[in-house]
Structure 1
Amino acid sequence: MAPSNTPLQWIRPPRQARTQQSLERLLDAAETLLRDKSFEDVHVSEIALRADTSVAAFYRRFRDKNALLYALHERFSDAAIATADEVLRDARWENAGIREILESIIPFLIEVLQSHEMLQRAVYRIALSDETMRERSLRLRRYVLGRLSELLLMRSSEIKHPDPNHAVPFALVQAGALMTEFYLTGMRDSTLLPSSDKKIAEEIVHSCCSYLFSDE
């Protein structure tokens, strides 16, 4: 729990324009279906049915299913930025140290990745070869990790690493890479590392703190 005693929550900015309503229904329908199956296994007819519209109406909005994925990722990115702005506010963490911040933020990031796993897995795979998707993903990562880096660097007196300005983003990128491997690539090996999500979060926090608090 954050020091302010308010839980960390995913925030979706309001989109109230009437022209957005049919689009939002399609995006909501797709997101709901992605909770149970991969993007490749979701069919346009299923999306249209759940959105209470027609396949023809879907194609008036999107040229194909990949165009839908772009729209889903844009909405996710807007929500992620709004969430980062709220969750990483300085005032929320006024009396917290680095370990306490990470003990709240890392499990929250894992929770977000899990709740959007199929969407983010599809984005990850397409971004490997699609420059537009890759650049948006990189901008989002830079923003979130940049905000978190700033928050931790405000507590640089706790850091024993000789170069805090390098060490903090390095530790966070390393943690992000591990979470990407576990939750986005579909390659999580429970035989090699049979850990619960809680244990993984604890080990990521321990790894970051051991690195930042060491003067070697």
Structure 2
Amino acid sequence: MYSIASPTQARSKKALERFLNVAAELLANNRFEETGISQIAQLAESSVGTFYRLLGDKDMLLYAVHDRFVEQSRAAIDALVAEELGHSTLPLQAQIEGFIQGLIRLFDGSEGLLRALIRRSSADLQFRQRFHQLNAYIGQTFCRIALARPGDLGHPHPEQAADLAAHMLLAGMNYFTMVGSLGVTPREVVPGELSRLICNYLEVAKH
């Protein structure tokens, strides 16, 4: 499994962060493959020697960008679900809608990077496994919210329905990320419409 040693010095930590930021931007703009290490170091306001000391090669840089994206996403999802479940007085429908809309906002603006990482995962097993883990985490988190009050779900098989709804949500988000739209549906209404679709399928009680 790929991994890089976490720098102990503050200066090295800042340099690593700049390398990751530059790589993420290059990936988002489809310029990562064509950009050499010396240019990456220049863009990161660092040196080639520092690049090799911290990362070793471009593949490790790519893995590190992916790893950071996954970890940051999990942390943001944890914060989002804590916020939604913390509002226990809200109807379940409002909690589900809040989670779905918050999740879409979380990835809004990262479509270019996401597309690059998803494309890479099609040819790289470790990338693919990490994406599967993130998708599974999102799905499990959604189910935690949806099944927090099973009595508010009218579907005859709540657990099964919540699992399928999670897959529907992930499929819709992935398609939206790769294509950039959902047909003629305006971008700004996608979060609300996905929420409506899923809540109707789960037959969430309306208060």
TM-score, length-normalised on structure 1?
Answer: 0.78
CA contact (8 A) 2:85 2:95 kept: no
**Can you list the C-alpha shifts for 1:91-120, whole angstroms capped at 9, x where unaligned?**
523122332123322232222223222221
Match of 2:3 in 1: none
Instruction: Check if 1:43 corresponds to 2:35.
Output: yes
Which deviates the most, 159-168 or 125-134? 125-134
Aligned residues: 195
Q: What are the within-5 Å matches in structure 2 for residues 49-198 of structure 1?
A: 49-89=42-82, 91-183=85-177, 185=178, 187-188=179-180, 193-198=183-188
For each residue in 1:109-144, what CA deviation from the matched residue of structure 2 results, as whole angstroms up to 9, or x when unmatched? 222223222221111111112111111111111112
Q: Distance in 2 between matches of 1:20 and 1:65?
A: 18
The residue type equivalent to 1:79 in the other structure is Q
The answer to whether the 8 A contact 1:99-1:209 is kept is yes
C-alpha RMSD of matched pairs (Å): 2.5
Q: Secondary structure at the match of 1:115?
A: coil
Q: After superposition, what is the alpha-carbon deviation per residue over 1:41-76, rounded to whole angstroms, capped at 9, x for unaligned?
A: 672445322311134433443344332221011111
Q: Check the 8 A contact 2:96/2:145 in 1, yes or no.
A: no
Q: Residues of 1 paired with 2:18 and 2:134: CA distance? A: 24
Alignment of structure 1 residues 16-31 onto 2, 5 Å: 17-18=8-9, 19-31=12-24
Take 2:85 and 2:191, find their aligned partners in 1: how far apart are those partners?
24
Counterpart residue identity of residue 82, structure 1: A
Q: Distance in 1 between matches of 2:127 and 2:91?
A: 35
Structure 1 unaligned residues grouped into runs of 5+ = 1-14
Q: What per-residue deviation string (whole Å, max 9, x for no partner) do you get for residues 134-182 of structure 1? A: 1111111111221221121012111111111110121121111011011
Identical pairs, percent: 28
| Contact 1:107–1:198 (Cα < 8 Å) also in 2 | no
Distance 2:106 2:33 in 1: 22
State the one-letter code of the partner of 1:194: V
The answer to whether the 8 Å contact 1:26/1:47 transfers is: yes
In the alignment, the residues of structure 2 paired with residue 34 and residue 196 of structure 1 have an alpha-carbon distance, to the nearest angstrom, of: 26
SS of structure 1 residue aligned to 2:123: coil
